[in-house]
């Protein structure tokens, strides 16, 4: 649909023995909103700084429009950055902060340095302040602005130079929840209005899913998965991605045949194919993909160990044969009740085993505080009693 703008080829970044980026291969399309998502220390900011020109990769190449850019300094790249803590110039007011890039003479077609006329600078700054809803603030010192306003000055200061690519390094990190949500919508609007490529770094998976065209999930200096938000959420490639994006129950399973996976010695229909027969796999089941039914009708049966009201749903922790699942449901199931569950084939996601297998997915820790409260957990044979209301004792 659109053409490739930036490519990282086999980028490695290491400091001595410590490898921060491990052979990153990535391309970014024109006008794309791409998010680098991962926990702190995963290499996402390093990747961004390599694209911005603040770091030079230890090995590998960076291409812009097919031209190798490894040794081009930041001030000669058609890229602008919105920094984590905005980095506004404290000695300049809002207008001069935004005008900073425009006041720098640029080489014209003949290679002569040309200054923009003051009228054009003024016009472009005012236009940009309007885009970020800061009209009337141009005379203010930046120290007199709130966090959200400073943030928008930083965005305007970068965008006014009409870069091909805007790099954003956790730009919403310092804002409160409410403002973050507003700014997410705002940023998406600006990106679409101005038709620029955004490369966005965040550790907030909700933010990544809400704004991006493409999400790149990173961990340990490696790319774990690249895909649309839907792909990443619905078809996580490994246990890390499944755990990092949203809540998930990750269970050991065995692939018995195409479309048949066995967990807890029961066979389930699924949509996944192409595994070896009897291959051990990780099975991801999203908490909202589980239907709670009567115990007798369930594919699996378990005991509720904790219920937390979350507004839209109840987060219910259910113990199935010693493995605790998180189930999000609108039905209230009291603690200690026995329930059954059903899972549709499209709610089951099968993944190859990886280095992350066994690290995530069990919700035992989630319910620790509740477990401390109920000392004796009824095992088998008490189903009837509990259903008749014995749980008040």
Cα radius of gyration (the chain) = 26
**Least distance from other proteins to the Cβ atom of residue 279, Å:** 48
Task: Draw the binding track, 39-78, toward other proteins (x: CB under 8 A; -: no contact).
Answer: -------------x-x------------------xxxx--
Q: Are 208 and 233 in contact (CB under 8 A)?
A: no
CA distance 93 to 100: 10
Percent helix, percent strand, percent coil in the chain, to nearest 5: 30, 35, 40
Neighbours of 336 (CB within 10 A): 15
Interface with other proteins, residue 199, by CB under 8 A: no
Interface with other proteins, residue 81, by CB under 8 A: yes
Interface with other proteins, residue 212, by CB under 8 A: no
**Least distance from other proteins to the Cβ atom of residue 362, Å:** 40
Given 35, 46, 80, 224, the residue binding other proteins (CB under 8 A):
80
Interface with other proteins, residue 114, by CB under 8 A: no
Which residues, numbered 135-164, are part of the site for other proteins (CB under 8 A)? 141-143, 157-158, 161
In angstroms, what CA-CA distances link 90 with 86, 122, 189? 11, 20, 28
Interface with other proteins, residue 210, by CB under 8 A: no
**Least distance from other proteins to the Cβ atom of residue 157, Å:** 7
Q: Residue 80 or 248: which CB sits closer to other proteins?
A: 80
**Least distance from other proteins to the Cβ atom of residue 287, Å:** 39
Q: Where are the alpha helices (DSSP H) in the chain?
A: 44-52, 94-99, 118-131, 147-159, 177-194, 205-211, 229-234, 239-244, 368-373, 383-387
Phi and psi angles of residue 258, each rounded to the nearest 5 degrees, phi first? -55, 125
Interface with other proteins, residue 293, by CB under 8 A: no
**Least distance from other proteins to the Cβ atom of residue 47, Å:** 16
Q: Are 333 and 339 in contact (CB under 8 A)?
A: yes
Q: Residue 52 or 246: which CB sits closer to other proteins?
A: 52
Q: Are 109 and 181 in contact (CB under 8 A)?
A: no
**Least distance from other proteins to the Cβ atom of residue 98, Å:** 10
Binding interface with other proteins (CB under 8 A): 52, 54, 73-76, 79-81, 83-85, 87-91, 100-101, 104, 106, 141-143, 157-158, 161
């Amino acid at each position: 649909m659109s053409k490739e703008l930036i490519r990282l080829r086999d980028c490695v970044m290491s400091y001595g023995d410590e490898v921060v980026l491990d052979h990153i291969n990535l391309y970014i399309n024109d006008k794309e909103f791409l998010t680098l998502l991962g926990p702190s220390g995963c290499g996402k900011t390093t990747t961004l700084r390599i694209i911005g020109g603040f770091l030079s990769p230890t090995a590998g190449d960076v291409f812009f429009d097919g031209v190798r850019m490894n040794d081009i300094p930041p001030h000669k790249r058609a890229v602008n950055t919105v920094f984590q803590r905005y980095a506004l110039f404290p000695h300049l007011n809002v207008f001069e902060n935004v005008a900073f890039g425009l006041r720098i003479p640029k080489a014209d077609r003949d290679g002569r340095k040309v200054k923009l006329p003051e009228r054009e600078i003024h016009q472009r700054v005012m236009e940009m302040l309007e885009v970020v809803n800061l009209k009337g603030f141009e005379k203010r010192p930046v120290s007199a602005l709130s966090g959200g306003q400073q943030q928008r000055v930083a965005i305007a200061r970068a965008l006014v130079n009409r870069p091909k690519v805007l790099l954003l390094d956790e730009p919403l990190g310092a804002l409160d929840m409410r403002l973050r949500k507003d700014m997410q919508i705002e940023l998406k609007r600006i990106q679409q209005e101005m038709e620029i490529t955004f490369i966005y770094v965040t550790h907030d998976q909700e933010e990544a899913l809400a704004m991006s065209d493409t999400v790149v999930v990173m961990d340990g200096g490696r790319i774990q998965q690249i895909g649309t938000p839907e792909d990443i959420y619905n078809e996580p490639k490994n246990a890390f991605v499944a755990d990092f994006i949203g809540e998930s129950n990750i269970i050991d399973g065995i692939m018995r045949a195409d479309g048949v996976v066995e967990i807890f010695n029961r066979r389930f229909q699924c949509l996944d194919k192409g595994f070896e027969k009897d291959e051990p796999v990780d099975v991801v089941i999203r908490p909202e993909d589980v239907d709670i039914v009567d115990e007798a009708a369930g594919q699996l049966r378990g005991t509720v160990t904790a219920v937390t009201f979350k507004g839209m749903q109840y987060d219910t922790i259910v113990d199935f044969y010693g493995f605790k699942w998180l189930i999000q449901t609108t039905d209230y199931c009291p603690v200690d009740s026995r329930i059954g569950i059903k899972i549709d084939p499209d709610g089951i996601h099968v993944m190859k085993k990886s280095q992350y297998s066994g690290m995530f997915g069990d919700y035992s820790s989630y319910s620790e505080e509740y477990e401390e409260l109920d000392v004796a957990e009824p095992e088998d044979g008490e189903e009837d009693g509990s259903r008749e209301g014995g749980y008040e004792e």
